[in-house]
Amino acid sequence: MANTEILLVKPVEGLGGEGDQVKVRAGYARNYLLPRNFAVPLNAANSKHVEALKKRRALREQDELNGAQELGKKLEKTSLAFAVTTGEGGKMFGAITANDIHDKLTAAGITLEKKKIHLHTPVKTLGKHTVKVKLHADVSVELSFDVVSENPIVPVAVEAAPEGQWVDRPARPARPARK
């Protein structure tokens, strides 16, 4: 199993960021990383290039962090409301998903990747709810939103049972007699 050391020029998911020296299988480096210019072989000439790559990476990461913090401040000020149709007793038809929240944020002028919204289960109840939005490894924001009914809520009518009698379900109609 031949391994080789390479210098990453661009960030590679699951491997490292630009400027990292990593040890990978020779075939992976030769057939994937080097032809796509994700990496260069590690030698004396390329080792000098490491400092420039690390500086560029630090600047890029700082810009990403600043952008995430600004977006976080904007999200904290944002309030969302979803009007949904409801049936008897305020029971919702459907649910509010991360996709719905993303669409509302986009309509409000906030650009955000859908995968950054962490809503574990769809919201199926009326009221105030919160969702975690992870903007960066160091920045996450709690976004609150309201789910309200667009039609008036009609309470479910409850029939009163005669005293001492348990009502479980409506009585079944009598069957016709067999011949």
Q: Would you kindly state where each structural domain of the chain is located, as residue ranges?
A: 3-47, 72-149
Give ∠ CA 109-113-115 in degrees, rounded to 5: 140
Q: What is the pLDDT of residues 102-149, one digit of tens each?
A: 999 999 888 889 999 999 899 999 999 999 999 888 889 999 999 998
Q: Which CATH architecture has domain 72-149?
A: Roll (3.10)
Tokens of 149: 């009914």
Does the pTM of the predicted model rise above 0.75?
Answer: no
Same CATH fold assignment for domains 3-47 and 72-149: no
DSSP-derived letter for residue 108 is: T
Contact 53, 26 (CB under 8 A): no
What's the mean pLDDT in 9-17? 89
The structure tokens 């990461």 sit at: 61
Amino acid 20 reads D
Q: Reply yes or no on domain 3-47 having CATH 3.40.5.10.
A: yes
Residue 27: its pLDDT value, please?
A: 94
